[in-house]
Structure 1
Amino acid sequence: MTYAVFVDGQEGTTGLRIHEYLAARQDVEVLRIDADKRKDPAERARLLNAADVAFLCLPDAASREAAAMISNPRTCLIDASTAHRTVPGWAFGLPELCKSQREAIRTAKRIANPGCHASAFILALRPLVDAGLLAPEALVSATSITGYSGGGKGMIGEYEAGGNTKLLSPRPYALGLAHKHLPEMMAHTGLKTAPVFMPIVGNFYKGLAVTVPLHLSQLRAGTQAEQVQQALAAHYEGERFIRVMPLRDADTLAEGFFDVQGCNDTNRVDLFVFGSETQILVMARLDNLGKGASGAAVQAMNVHLGLEESLGLV
């Protein structure tokens, strides 16, 4: 069977990468909009309603506008914006979230693609909350370092133009403590309070790692680093795209530095636990353009259509 797929916002970073994923597939017919009609509401509506699956790679307001254009009950929307990630009636497009999530994605016609920072944070902490090791009331913080492609075409152009020495060093941002991923980070971990979240953009194209530092005293009494790593391993047992690394991963410790780009060009997430007698670091690594954006969207499409989940992904 061949599925008609339309990417609304096909010229953006996420849209272009989705096209790359779909280009080699024989089961997909990609519907394209003429360059001079990209802002024509009637033409966009026609293509959205002609698609079995439509990806929205648009700013939030434009995604809401596009969603309102759908009149075909068969069209499944997968929205890569922030607009619908905590909206009732939209399935969260993270199949590994919990045991029931794949069925939610399969049956939904509205799927919200997770944010890149949020995916890493949620995958690192949701198992600890579900296992009762971390209380929903816990107050946590997180740091995320990401490549500049996460900022879209404008930031990519700024970095690749060269000449601005300020871009040579890492740049913390979202200093107003109101990052747009915070609502989904709370909603899909079960945490009752938003984490203190510090994202940092670095002078490299792609790759992302979220680090959550915890005192063992914040966890269920008696919990050690071993139980944290085991909870992650149990939660993700059998998952194609989640790799839980050994406790205090020897290769990482031998190198002395963490490789933020170690999952680049894959749809994989690597989870790490490093610990002492009193503290732990829980770390999640992914490609911010892969599992953090376009790869996750294609994975959600595969799940929704009942196809092999890894089709077209690595």
Structure 2
Amino acid sequence: MKTKIFVDGQEGTTGLQIHERLALRPELELIAIDPAKRKDTAARAACLNAADVAFLCLPDGAAKESAALVTNPNTCIIDASTAHRIDPAWVYGVPELGADYRAAIRTSKRIANPGCHATAFALAVRPLVQRGLVPADFALSCFSITGYSGGGKKMIADYEQTPLPEALKSPRPYALGLMHKHLPEMRVHTGLVNAPIFSPVVGNFYKGLTITVALPLRQLPVAPSPQALHHALTETYAGEKFIRVLPFGDEGVLDGGFLDVQACNDTNRCDLAVFGHADQAVVVARLDNLGKGASGAAIQCMNLHLGFDEGAGLAV
């Protein structure tokens, strides 16, 4: 018997990618809803409760409404919105953050899919906080650069105009009120006392993302070396299929001195790198914001929960 899957909100960027990827897997049966009834509560409830796994690819408010429609205790919900990412009743969907995260994903019926920036930040910072290299109360700051697909359909349409408006040709900082919606999960799932100062930038390319965390090493209590940071990441993620810690001090990881933001595109991989010297370092995390940062992460969680190979249908 095939496993039944329903994607509530498959018309959006993440929902469409999940639907397209899962349609290729013969062990799964995708539940279809009549397009005319996508907003019909009873029709949606029927599809949600008929599914073994239901993906919610909706705005926060709509995701909460859909979750409330699920009365079948056997239906696992994987919510791609920000609505439940720090809710203690929901499991955070990044298995690489620890054995407890992976075990909970296997057993929970409520899984919150992480944000793209937050995934990269947590994978880069959590091991350093856990090992005492960065104090939990240290004032961290980071910036990101990301492709425009993370902004959804409207932003994609804006960037794909012909001709492209001059204002969209250059990188554009945003969320300048310092209240980005990923900040709560960035704090909670790294163990930080305070959220970092976070400055994201959107660029004129479709997908790909890096976050960069700056560390003034001499101001940290244990004054770690860049090599110590690299060792902590390497040891933490040893054996993780989708995490690659790039060699320290190897110019081969750069392209003429530049880091390629899009090198993880079309994979479910996150690359981590440390650069710097005795006084200062930066920790960089790179991923596909539509892959490990969205649909790929959701499918990885589904695979884990259903007992499939964790990497089924996902590229490294």
Further displaced range: 252-261 or 229-238: 252-261
Which secondary structure state, in structure 2, belongs to the residue aligned with residue 209 of structure 1? strand
1:279 aligns with 2:280: yes
1:104 aligns with 104
Matched, 1:40 2:40: yes
State the SS of the aligned residue for 2:6: strand
Partner of 2:10: 10
The offset of 1:145, in angstroms, is 0.4
CA distance in 2, matches of 1:266, 1:96: 16
CA shift digits 1:21-78 (9 cap, x unpaired): 1121111100111111111110000000000000000000000000100100000000
For the residue of structure 2 that corresponds to 1:100, the secondary structure is helix
Deviations along 1:239-265, whole A, 9 cap, x unmatched? 000000111332144611110000000
Residue by residue, what CA displacement relative to the aligned partner does 1:271-306 show, whole Å, maximum 9, x if unpaired?
Answer: 000011200010000000000000000000001111
Between the aligned residues of both structures, percent identity stands at 62
Q: Name the structure 1 match of 2:250.
A: 249
Conserved in 2, the CA contact under 8 Å of 1:243 and 1:268? Answer: yes
TM-score normalised to the size of structure 2? Answer: 0.98
Q: Determine the structure 1 residue equivalent to 2:95.
A: 95
Show the counterpart of 2:79. Answer: 79
Q: Which residue of 2 aligns with 1:21?
A: 21
Q: How does 1:1-314 map onto structure 2 within 5 Å?
A: 1-162=1-162, 163-253=164-254, 255-314=256-315
- The alignment's TM-score, normalised by the length of structure 1, stands at 0.98
Contact 2:246 2:253 in 1 (8 A): no
Amino acid across the alignment from 2:117: H
Unpaired segments of 5 or more residues in structure 2? none
Structure 1 outlier segments of 4+, above 3 Å: none
- 8 Å contact from structure 2 (residues 251, 257) kept in 1: no
How many aligned positions are there? Answer: 314
Q: Distance in 2 between matches of 1:36 and 1:266?
A: 34
Q: CA deviation at 1:224?
A: 0.4
Structure 1 residue matching 2:95: 3-state secondary structure: coil
Go from structure 1 to structure 2 and tell me whether the alpha carbon gap of 1:111 and 1:218 turns closer, same or farther (over 3 Å shift).
farther
Aligned-residue Cα RMSD (Å) equals 0.9
